Amino acid sequence: MDNLRTKTYSYPMSEKPIVRIFDRTTPPHVVTLVLLAGLSALTMNIFLPSLPNMTAHFDTEYRLMQLSVALYLGVNAVLQIIVGPLSDKYGRRSILLVSIVLFLIATLGCIFATSVEMFLIFRMSQAVIVTGMVLSRAIVRDMVSQDEAASMIGYVTMGMSVVPMIGPALGGILDEAFGWQANFGMLIFTGVAILVLVWFDLGETAKPSGNSLGAQFREYPELLGSRRFWGYALAAAFASGAFFAFLGGAPFVGTEVYNLSPSTLGLYFGLTALGYMLGNYLSGRYSVRVGINPMILYGTIAVTAGLTCSFLLILLGSTHPMAFFGLVSFVGLGNGMVIPNATAGMLSVRPHLAGTASGLGGAIMIGGGAALSALAGALLVPGSGVYPLLAIMLATSAAAILSVLYVLHINRIAGELDGGATE
């Protein structure tokens, strides 16, 4: 029985895996991977409509309370650098189980925090759950080839996108009914359920590396020296940067500019997640047929086009929330196309370092997001309107287009990845 806990399964990539839920000798069910990634997304955004009420509860300023987003993302980025090599060294399963337990402890701390400083410490500790996001993608790459990985990651993140779509709406309702602490109570309940699911369904998908942990970290230069890795990583980072800036600034815009209640604000947040779901569906449906690079390009263009339209509508005098929140749904659409495909590209530059690449790429993406989220919170002050936030989002989306064009340039001079190229 003990052998089942650590057994690594394998099968030819040309064959479809046999999947049986609650059987650790077969690949994990897609539902398990969706929920693992989804818990990380839910933790990031379920409490966003409560930020104004939490500011009042702790008798502090919005800028300080908004750090619960930026600091969480910052720690999230640092942990991703560590999680990848740890999972390549010790395997995916054990790292996931430990991280979920630590997440549950940190969430309890958030509920019972007596000061904003104590809350922020426990909030930063919650970032350990990013392991679920990083390793769900690495597990996919363990099982299938590059284009199939982009497609499967697209389907996983499409299912995961339901979570951020309903998360803020649910958080707003819980806040109005029971107070902001109820959001973290929901995270406790969800975390326990996923811990049980992972224990019974997820076996080990990667053969633990024979290298020492120090040797694992010394392999980072192999990735950092790849121009193609940087192109994919920056495309994902800049495209998602628009979304993270939105996370940092939208609660302020919703309450101060559009006078929305927490529950209504949560519903508007859901529009972006709806766009993300559609983008992930397109990735799952077309990545194998179209190829990952065109999908990334189309996604970055969608992000920029939506934000440009929003900026122009507001400039022309539109005051309805849909002029902002409705068109920001294109940020979700574009991210749903960019992130699965750029992630598959990052993981395929050096397939033997899939866990490390997932962690490093995620750290670059989330680290940039943390900075942009903090910048959005700092620039938005009473009377500023929505323009500072839209300017940040537009600048990062334009940079995402340049990043994918750089990848296409590398492909022209060095060949496609499938052709054996590694640069």
Residue pLDDT, tens place only, 252-286? 888 888 888 877 887 887 788 788 888 888 887 88
- Is residue 209 in some structural domain? no
Query: Higher pLDDT residue, 374 or 299?
Result: 299
Instruction: Tell me the percentage of the chain whose pLDDT exceeds 70.
Output: 81
- Is residue 16 in some structural domain? no
Residue 410 to residue 228: CA distance in whole angstroms: 7
What is the per-residue pLDDT across 178-236, written as a single tens digit (0 to 9) for each?
989 999 999 999 999 999 988 888 877 666 666 666 666 676 777 777 888 899 999 98
- Is residue 22 in some structural domain? no
- Is residue 296 in some structural domain? yes
Average pLDDT over residues 64-75: 83
Q: How confident is the model at residue 2 (pLDDT cuts 50, 70, 90)?
A: very low
Average pLDDT over residues 49-78: 84
Q: Kindly report which listed range (41-55, 115-129, 341-355) carries the lowest average pLDDT score.
A: 341-355
pLDDT of residue 10: 44
* CA 74 centroid distance within chain: 13
E strands, 234-335, in order: none
Average pLDDT over residues 105-112: 95
Check pLDDT > 60 for residue 13: no
Average model confidence (pLDDT) across the chain: 81
What is the per-residue pLDDT across 88-107, written as a single tens digit (0 to 9) for each?
777 788 889 999 999 999 99
What is the per-residue pLDDT across 363-404, written as a single tens digit (0 to 9) for each?
788 777 777 877 887 777 777 788 889 999 999 999 999 999
Q: Show Cβ contacts of residue 279 under 8 Å, excluding neighbours closer than 6 positions.
A: 299, 302, 332, 333, 334, 335, 336, 337, 338
Helix (H, G, I), strand (E, B) or coil at 204: strand
What is the per-residue pLDDT across 143-176, written as a single tens digit (0 to 9) for each?
666 556 666 766 676 666 567 667 887 888 898 8
Give residue 263's domain range.
27-202+217-416
- Is residue 327 in some structural domain? yes
pLDDT of residue 15: 47
- Is residue 7 in some structural domain? no
How many domains does the chain fold into? 1
- Is residue 1 in some structural domain? no
Helix (H) or strand (E) holding 241: helix 227-252
CB-based burial, 361-391: b 16+ in 10 Å, e otherwise? bbbbbbbbbbbbbbbbbebbeeeeebebbbe
Structural tokens at position 278: 């559609």
* CA 338 centroid distance within chain: 12
CATH number at residue 149: 1.20.1250.20
- Is residue 150 in some structural domain? yes
